[in-house]
């Protein structure tokens, strides 16, 4: 069969049989699906050999490239030993080893790992655990949660309840529990002349005001540390996290760090919250945890919280589970991912790589159509000034024509490349993005 026919056939069958995520399917009448036959490093290829630079790490999950030989070899080895076993009442080496290693990465502060299969489930678990902790400690009135304006914590009903992205949430409002939102420390919202740090302090004061009033019924604050991803890569000063941590302590409210996107070196440190030198009560990880290979998430917490569930009474225990909790293959991929971090000085190498990308992107930062060029670690974002209501989809389509996989969030274009992006690929990404900006129609 001719390869182009294989592409077309795949798309036709996909549109007939697969309901694609986060998509108004009717748009595929004019916006074609992208067929992917294989991947290697930062590149995705269709059946014709047409290629796309995966500048968004396939929805922020990929760390060390597609078809990474080390992760692949670990999985192949694991496939010959054990693919999966239930985790209730059973254990296996691939789940124990990453739990120990992740605990060590928190300096031993968060020594208990509870596993699930995706980010939203980790959020659900943290909310339930926080509430249940307070209940076990004789504070059953603590049933409410606080999050930041513009926060994103996933799409299941509990995760949606603490999210603040109207496009995803409004339709389901009658199904979703009430939660409170406080000001986001997103530095784009600072007053003229106000530093990101001063603005962060002002937002922390607003949080304190809220908790002063509502701490008695509030179980936890949930935050995406340093970068609020899905609502447009809003970045904030670590000062917010430092102050929010202290405020949560003062008012006996848990601090949940949703590092589902920011974890595993994405913001320049292994965990984003480490840049504020704080310890959260709950740390949520997913996305990069398996290097982008298999679905897995984990909720990490402190000994004191774990102890509040440890009892002769079954119902004081955390009776939550998913069928694939702690899946052996996914955990083995996580272990292989942690091995790469340990063996290859990834964080240090990324520091140099990040500087090279920022240098290569100077023409973007200075482009007349660009506002708020920003960078944290291995994330870059900028807002494109355009009146085109179809900008998001048009830019995506035009980027594909230039071999780039870029998927803007509204008018925000961002780069979140795998950590193996090379110098030639960096030049290509930056150069072609400038071409895309130059080609924008005048408003
Ligand atoms: C992606 C994401 C989630 C949800 O994870 P899923 O695996 O998509 O359910 C939650 N929080 C943050 C910060 C995320 O980026």
Residue 19 makes CB contacts below 8 A (sequence gap 6+) with: 25
On whether both 116 and 226 belong to a single domain, the answer is: yes
What is the mean pLDDT of the segment spanning 124-137?
98
Nearest CA to ligand 1 atom 15: 261
Contact yes or no for 211/247 (Cβ under 8 A): yes
Q: 174: helix, coil or strand?
A: helix
Closest residue by Cα to residue 256 from 232, 280, 288, 226: 280
Domain C-terminal end among 298, 326, 344: 344
Find the 215 Cα to ligand 1 centroid distance in Å. Answer: 26
- Position 244 scores a pLDDT of 99
On whether both 14 and 119 belong to a single domain, the answer is: no
What's 338-381 look like in SS3? HHHHHHHCHHHHHHHHHHHHHHHCHHHHCCCCEEEEEEECCEEE
The residue to which tokens 């699930």 are assigned = 116
User: Ligand 1 pocket test: which of 58, 260, 273, 296 has the largest number of ligand atoms within 8 Å of its C-beta?
Assistant: 260
Find the 1 Cα to ligand 1 centroid distance in Å. Answer: 39
Q: Kindly report the CATH number assigned to the domain that includes residue 397.
A: 3.90.1150.10
On whether both 64 and 166 belong to a single domain, the answer is: no
- Position 22 scores a pLDDT of 94
> Which of ligand 1's atoms lies nearest the C-alpha of 261?
15
Q: How many residues does the chain have?
A: 443
Banded pLDDT at 443 (limits 50, 70, 90): confident
User: Ligand 1 pocket test: which of 21, 56, 127, 287 has the largest number of ligand atoms within 8 Å of its C-beta?
Assistant: 287
Ligand 1 pocket check for 61: Cβ under 6 Å = no
Ligand 1 pocket check for 256: Cβ under 6 Å = no
> Which of ligand 1's atoms lies nearest the C-alpha of 118?
7
Share of the chain above pLDDT 70, in %: 100
Q: 319: helix, coil or strand?
A: coil
Contact yes or no for 59/266 (Cβ under 8 A): no
Find the 157 Cα to ligand 1 centroid distance in Å. Answer: 13
Residue 393 makes CB contacts below 8 A (sequence gap 6+) with: 27, 31
On whether both 336 and 415 belong to a single domain, the answer is: no
- Cα of 250 vs its chain's centroid, Å: 28
Banded pLDDT at 290 (limits 50, 70, 90): very high
Instruction: Report the C-alpha gap between 148 and 434 in whole angstroms.
Output: 33
Share of the chain above pLDDT 90, in %: 98
- Position 113 scores a pLDDT of 98
On whether both 119 and 250 belong to a single domain, the answer is: yes
> Which of ligand 1's atoms lies nearest the C-alpha of 295?
7
What is the mean pLDDT of the segment spanning 164-181?
97
Chain segment 235-286, per-residue pLDDT in tens: 999 999 999 999 999 999 999 999 999 999 999 999 999 999 999 999 999 9
Of residues 158 and 32, more confidence is placed in 158
Nearest CA to ligand 1 atom 10: 153
Closest residue by Cα to residue 384 from 402, 403, 365, 398: 365
On whether both 139 and 251 belong to a single domain, the answer is: yes
- Position 378 scores a pLDDT of 98
Find the 175 Cα to ligand 1 centroid distance in Å. Answer: 20
Find the 435 Cα to ligand 1 centroid distance in Å. Answer: 31
Instruction: Report the C-alpha gap between 420 and 397 in whole angstroms.
Output: 25
Nearest CA to ligand 1 atom 5: 119
Domain presence at residue 108:
yes
Contact yes or no for 423/354 (Cβ under 8 A): no
Find the 258 Cα to ligand 1 centroid distance in Å. Answer: 8
Q: Please, what is the average pLDDT of the chain?
A: 97
On whether both 177 and 134 belong to a single domain, the answer is: yes
Burial class (CB in 10 A: 0-12, 13-18, 19+), 291: buried
Domain presence at residue 373:
no
Which two structure tokens, joined as six digits, stand for 142?
């603590």
Res 146 pLDDT > 90: yes
Chain segment 52-68, per-residue pLDDT in tens: 999 999 999 999 999 99
Domain presence at residue 334:
yes
| Number of domains composing the chain | 2
Domain presence at residue 64:
yes
Q: Kindly report the CATH number assigned to the domain that includes residue 332.
A: 3.40.640.10
Find the 61 Cα to ligand 1 centroid distance in Å. Answer: 10
Domain presence at residue 374:
no
- Position 256 scores a pLDDT of 99
Domain presence at residue 372:
no
Ligand 1 pocket check for 124: Cβ under 6 Å = no
Find the 440 Cα to ligand 1 centroid distance in Å. Answer: 31
Q: 68: helix, coil or strand?
A: coil
On whether both 10 and 100 belong to a single domain, the answer is: no
Chain segment 372-423, per-residue pLDDT in tens: 999 999 999 999 999 999 999 999 999 999 999 999 999 999 999 999 999 9
Find the 154 Cα to ligand 1 centroid distance in Å. Answer: 5
Ligand 1 pocket check for 133: Cβ under 6 Å = no
Ligand 1 pocket check for 266: Cβ under 6 Å = no
On whether both 94 and 60 belong to a single domain, the answer is: no
Domain presence at residue 141:
yes
Domain C-terminal end among 344, 371, 390: 344
Chain segment 10-48, per-residue pLDDT in tens: 999 999 999 999 999 999 999 999 999 999 999 999 999
User: Ligand 1 pocket test: which of 286, 295, 296, 299 has the largest number of ligand atoms within 8 Å of its C-beta?
Assistant: 286
Contact yes or no for 176/145 (Cβ under 8 A): no
- Cα of 50 vs its chain's centroid, Å: 28
Find the 118 Cα to ligand 1 centroid distance in Å. Answer: 8
> Which of ligand 1's atoms lies nearest the C-alpha of 123?
10
- The domain containing residue 420 runs over which residues? 5-43+55-68+347-353+379-438
Burial class (CB in 10 A: 0-12, 13-18, 19+), 280: buried
Instruction: Report the C-alpha gap between 71 and 336 in whole angstroms.
Output: 5
Handedness of CA 151, 154, 157, 159 (dihedral sign): negative
Distance of CA 130 to CAs 139, 256, 354, Å? 11, 9, 36
On whether both 36 and 131 belong to a single domain, the answer is: no
What is the mean pLDDT of the segment spanning 219-223?
99
Find the 260 Cα to ligand 1 centroid distance in Å. Answer: 6
On whether both 323 and 231 belong to a single domain, the answer is: yes
Domain presence at residue 49:
no
Res 441 pLDDT > 80: yes
Find the 223 Cα to ligand 1 centroid distance in Å. Answer: 12
Ligand 1 pocket check for 281: Cβ under 6 Å = no
On whether both 151 and 14 belong to a single domain, the answer is: no
> Which of ligand 1's atoms lies nearest the C-alpha of 228?
13
Ligand 1 pocket check for 119: Cβ under 6 Å = yes
Find the 437 Cα to ligand 1 centroid distance in Å. Answer: 29
- Position 2 scores a pLDDT of 75
Banded pLDDT at 435 (limits 50, 70, 90): very high
């Amino acid at each position: 069969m001719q390869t182009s026919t294989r592409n077309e056939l795949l798309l036709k069958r996909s549109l007939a049989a697969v309901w694609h995520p986060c998509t108004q399917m009717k748009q595929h009448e004019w916006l074609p699906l992208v067929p992917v036959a294989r991947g290697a490093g930062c590149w995705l290829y269709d059946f014709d050999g047409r290629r796309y630079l995966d500048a968004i790490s396939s929805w922020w999950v990929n760390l060390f490239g597609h078809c990474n030989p080390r992760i692949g070899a670990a999985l192949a080895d694991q496939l010959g030993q054990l693919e999966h076993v239930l985790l209730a009442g059973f254990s296996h080496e691939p789940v124990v080893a990453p739990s120990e290693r992740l605990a060590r990465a928190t300096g031993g502060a968060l020594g208990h790992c509870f596993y699930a299969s995706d980010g939203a489930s980790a959020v659900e678990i943290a909310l339930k655990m926080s509430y249940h902790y307070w209940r076990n400690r004789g504070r059953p009135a603590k049933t409410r949660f606080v999050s930041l304006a513009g926060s994103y914590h996933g799409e299941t009903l509990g995760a949606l309840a603490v999210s603040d992205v109207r496009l995803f949430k409004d339709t389901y409002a009658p199904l979703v529990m009430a939660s409170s939102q406080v000001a986001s420390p997103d530095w784009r919202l600072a007053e003229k002349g106000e530093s990101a740090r001063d603005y962060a302090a002002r937002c922390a004061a607003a949080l304190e005001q809220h908790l002063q009033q509502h701490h008695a019924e509030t179980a936890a604050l949930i935050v995406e540390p340093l970068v609020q991803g899905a609502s447009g890569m809003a970045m904030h000063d670590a000062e917010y996290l430092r102050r929010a941590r202290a405020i949560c302590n003062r008012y006996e409210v848990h601090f949940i760090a949703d590092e589902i996107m920011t974890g595993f070196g994405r913001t320049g440190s292994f965990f984003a919250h480490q840049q504020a030198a704080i310890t959260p009560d709950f740390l949520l990880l997913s996305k990069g945890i398996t290097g982008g290979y298999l679905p897995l998430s984990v909720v990490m917490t402190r000994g004191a919280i774990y102890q509040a569930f440890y009892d002769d009474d079954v119902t004081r225990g955390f009776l939550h589970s998913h069928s694939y909790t702690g899946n052996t293959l996914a955990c083995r991929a996580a272990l292989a991912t942690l091995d790469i971090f340990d063996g290859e000085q990834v964080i240090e190498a990324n520091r140099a790589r990040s500087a090279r990308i920022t240098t290569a992107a100077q023409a973007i930062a200075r482009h007349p159509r660009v506002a708020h060029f920003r960078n944290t670690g291995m994330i870059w974002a900028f807002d494109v000034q355009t009146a085109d209501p179809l900008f998001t989809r048009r830019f995506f389509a035009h980027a594909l024509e230039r071999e780039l996989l870029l998927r803007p969030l509204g008018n925000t274009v961002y780069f979140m490349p795998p950590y193996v992006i090379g110098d030639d690929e960096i030049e290509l990404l930056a150069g072609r993005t400038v071409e895309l900006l130059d080609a924008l129609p005048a408003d």
